[in-house]
Amino acid sequence: MESKEKIIKLILIILLICIVIFVLNVVRKAIIIRSISKEYKENYASITNFYERIKDEYFVTEIWRKDNRAIIKKTYENKDKIEKDIEITYIDEDYKYVFKDDKVTKLNKEEADLPVLTHAIFDVPNFSQALFASLMYDVSSEKIYGEDCYYIDCDTTSLLYNMINFRKDNITDQSFVNKDTKLVYKEISNTGVRYYKYELNNVTDENVNMPDIEDLELVDETK
């Protein structure tokens, strides 16, 4: 009888230790998730001077923005590093111009046309939601571009994830977030792998000058 009581006590102690470890891990992940979301909201969501480069298997997208002007350049790059410009979009204070082949199309500018820095992978306005989100993610450490990053792995097979995320068209399974800047450096999703690089507050007026349209056919769709 006494031996059975000792076994039960041991089992309870082990169970308690497991619960404590689980709770501490959830809290640790929640703190990291909340810090990533908060950093983006406070320091990046409204930034208007940045350069961003996004590269996947075949395409490179470069963005230069300064205040109300921006250039978005999309380039095809194959495995032999042969590059071909596919499309350039120029946005000024009043209009948007799309350069493609030998034609430039002039369009009315809309508020959503100006690019913003890559969205945060988390949008958790409070710690309670961060705790909830931490149940779906594993958070560890890895190096990307020689920088210390959080490796954030989403368990897309979990019941909780599938209850919340009913859209499966573009799932990001793994993200690498720089520990210092809290910006995404690499993403792995069901559509491929994307790499990101950033420069903040270094874009000049010259970087966002309108490309030459002298020899191009102009299609004005603002009328």
Average pLDDT over residues 84-96: 87
Does residue 111 come out as left (phi exceeding 0), alpha (psi in the -120 to 50 range) or beta?
Answer: alpha
The answer to whether 107 touches 97, Cβ cutoff 8 Å, is: yes
Please provide residue 131's backbone torsions phi and psi, each rounded to the nearest 5 degrees.
Answer: -60, -45
Half-sphere exposure of 38 (CA within 13 A, CB side): 10
160 falls within a domain: yes
Same domain, 54 and 159: no
192 falls within a domain: no
Same domain, 40 and 53: no
Distance CA(109)–CA(93), nearest Å, equals: 8
DSSP β-ladder status, 103-108 and 217-220 = parallel
Q: Look at residues 223, 175, 182, 179 and name the one whose alpha carbon lies nearest to residue 200.
A: 182
> What pLDDT, in 10s, does the model give residues 187-222?
888 778 889 999 999 999 999 999 888 888 888 888
Structural domain span for residue 168: 2-45+124-182
Average pLDDT, the chain: 84
Tokens of residue 181, six digits: 């800047």
The answer to whether 184 touches 43, Cβ cutoff 8 Å, is: no
The answer to whether 134 touches 140, Cβ cutoff 8 Å, is: no
Same domain, 103 and 128: no
Distances (CA, A) of 61 to 39, 73, 134, 212: 24, 6, 31, 20
Q: pTM for the full model?
A: 0.80
> What pLDDT, in 10s, does the model give residues 134-180?
888 888 998 887 889 999 887 666 656 665 554 444 455 788 999 99
Number of domains observed in the structure of the chain:
2
138 falls within a domain: yes
Same domain, 59 and 79: yes
Range among 48-52, 78-82, 115-119 with highest mean pLDDT value: 48-52
Average pLDDT over residues 68-72: 94
